[in-house]
Structure 1
Amino acid sequence: MFVAAVVETKRRNVAHLKPTLGIEKGKDVISPMSGYWLVIQMVVTGISEGFAVIGIVEFFYEQFPKNMKSFAGSFFYCGFAMSSYLSSILISIVHRTTNEGLARNWLAQDLNKGKLDYFYYLCMGLEVLNLIYYLMVAKWYKYKGSGDETIDVPLEDMPTTYKHVV
C-alpha cells in the first residue's frame, strides 16, 4: 500500500504539472506518466499474496484436525469473501465521510481531483494494526504437535469402557 500511495502521489503531481493532449492545465488532465509504474505495486502485491496464500493453506492443513481438512479449504475462501465485504464497507465509509463538508472526496470519479493516495495510506495503517494484532495472537498460539493439545481420536476408535489400572 505504501508503494501504491507513493506512485499515486507522483502520478497526480505529474498530471497537474504536465498536462497532455492539449487539455487545459488543471482540468480533466490525462497524466503523461507511463502505466508501467503500476507494475511495481502489482509485483509487490503479487509476491506478498503468493507467500501469504501458501502460508495460510499450509497452516490450515497442518493445524486443523484430519477430519476437518475440507473445512480448512472452505474456511480459506470464506476469509476471502469476508475481506471483500469488509473492503466494500471501508470504501463506502471513506466515500461517505470524505464527501461531506469542505473535505475533498478521496475516491472521486476524477482521479486527479481525488486523494486516492490518502486511501492507500489508510489501508496501510489498517494493515499495520492487523500486523500488530497478528503478532500478539501468534505469540500465544500453541501449535499442534507442541505437546499442549489433546490427542485427536476418531469417534469409532474411542473405547466404550474404561478399565481401572491398579
Structure 2
Amino acid sequence: MQRSFISHNFIVPPASLQSLIGLTIIITVPFYDRIFVPFITLLQRIGTGLALSILEAAVAALVESRRLHGPKGAVVPMQVWWLVPQYAISGMSDAFTIVGLQELFYDQMPESMRSMGAAAYISIVGIGSFVNTGVITVVQGVSSRAGGGKWLGDNLNRANLDKFYWILAGMSAVNFCVYLLIARGFVYRTVEEHDVRRLERRGGGAGGRS
C-alpha cells in the first residue's frame, strides 16, 4: 500500500495502525458510558461489540478483495487510509465487548468470587490467542493442500487474505449466535438483592458481637 502521509518524506509505519484501535476506544468509551449504558442492558452492550466484530472482519475482507481484484483483475495500490475503517470498528467492538465483560464479571459475580471473575475475563484474551493460532495453522494447511497456494503467504499480492477474513467473519457470526442463545437464559443479579444480602450479613455480625 501507499503509506505516505502529507508528503512523500513521511511514511506511516505499518505497526502504528494498531494505535488507531486504542484511540477509537478512548473516543468511544465516553459515548458508551453516557449514551448506551443508561438505555441498553449489559448483555446487549456485549452483544453489540460481538456484532461489530462481524462487521469488522467483513469490511477487512471487502477492502482486501478490492485491493487484489481491481479493474481488469489487477492489484490496486491503495492508500493506507483504506485500513482506517476496519481498525476503527475494531476499537468500537473492543469498547463494547471488553468494557461490558469487565462489568459483567464484576457486577454479576458473587462478592466472594470477584477476583476469580477478573481472572476469567483475562483468560478470555489468552484463549482467544490460542484459538487464533490454531485457526491460522488449519487455514494454512488446508489452503496449501488445495493447490491454490497458501492464503496467508509472505507475498500478499499472491495470497488470499480476503478469504481468511471471510472465515473470521463467519466464525464471529457463529460466536454471536451462540452468545445470543446463552444470553437468553441469563438472569441478572439485581442490585437490590445484593444490597439486602450485604445488609443482612452486617446485621447478623453486629448481633453476634452484641
Same fold (TM over 0.5): yes
Counterpart among 6, 9, 17 of residue 74 in structure 2: 17
Q: Output one character per residue of 1:47-104: Cα deviation in whole Å (capped at 9) or x when no partner.
A: 1111111111111111111011122111111110010000000000000110114233
Counterpart in the other structure of 1:58: 103
| Cα 1:40/1:135, change in 2 over 3 Å | same
> Could you say which structure has the larger radius of gyration?
1
What's the C-alpha RMSD, in Å, of the aligned pairs? 2.5
Paired residue secondary structure (2:105): helix
Match runs of 1:115-154 below 5 Å: 115-145=160-190
Unpaired segments ≥5 residues, structure 2: 1-56, 206-210
Within 2, Cα distance between the matches of 1:39 and 1:64?
37
Alignment of 1:86 with 2:142, yes or no, is no
Q: RCO higher in 1 or 2 (8 Å CA, sep ≥ 6)?
A: 2
Counterpart among 47, 53, 68 of residue 92 in structure 2: 47
Identity %, equivalent residues: 28
Amino acid at match of 2:66: K
Give the total of aligned pairs.
Answer: 142
Paired residue secondary structure (2:92): helix
Moved over 4 A (4+): 151-154
Amino acid at match of 2:190: G
Q: Output one character per residue of 1:103-136: Cα deviation in whole Å (capped at 9) or x when no partner.
A: 3321111111111111100110111111110110
Alignment of 1:71 with 2:116, yes or no, is yes
Deviates more, 1:65-74 or 1:120-129: 65-74
